[in-house]
Amino acid sequence: MEHDGTSHEVEAEDGISIMEAAKSNGVPGIDADCGGACACATCHVYIDPLWLPKTGSRSQMEEDMLDIAEGIEANSRLACQIRIDGTLDGLVAHIPENQY
């Protein structure tokens, strides 16, 4: 979901990241400058609180990258670090207004 409330529903196969799913389906607002290497923090998203338990926790590397992003909240994640599997069907992620 974009910051202005625009909603996008995408189909994605298991094993890809939610960043890849968003990019390949033309969802705006995720830059992903490093291509998913956990090295840029421009794929920042806010995971809907209802889905937080299913998306797991941040790795140390992800924590370090989020330290350089702005607007970080408890539900902030890097979209390239969440892999889709059957348990994430219906996952809701909110895209920040800007990626820094």
Which residues of the shown chain bind ligand FES in the complex (CB under 6 A)? Answer: 19, 32-34, 36-43, 65, 78, 80
**Nearest approach, Cβ of 8 to ligand FES (angstroms)?**
18
> Which amino acid, one-letter code, is at 59?
S
**Nearest approach, Cβ of 30 to ligand FES (angstroms)?**
8
93 in the Ramachandran plot: left (φ > 0), alpha (ψ -120 to 50) or beta? beta
Helix (H, G, I), strand (E, B) or coil at 48: coil
Q: What Å distances lie between residue 84 and 6, 54, 67, 96, CA to CA?
A: 22, 11, 24, 20
**Nearest approach, Cβ of 6 to ligand FES (angstroms)?**
21
Give 81's Cβ-side CA count (13 Å radius).
26
**Distance of alpha carbon 89 from alpha carbon 38, whole angstroms:** 23
Nearest residue by C-beta to ligand FES?
Answer: 80
Nearer to ligand FES (CB atom), residue 37 or residue 50: 37
Nearer to ligand FES (CB atom), residue 7 or residue 79: 79
**Nearest approach, Cβ of 72 to ligand FES (angstroms)?**
13
Nearer to ligand FES (CB atom), residue 1 or residue 38: 38
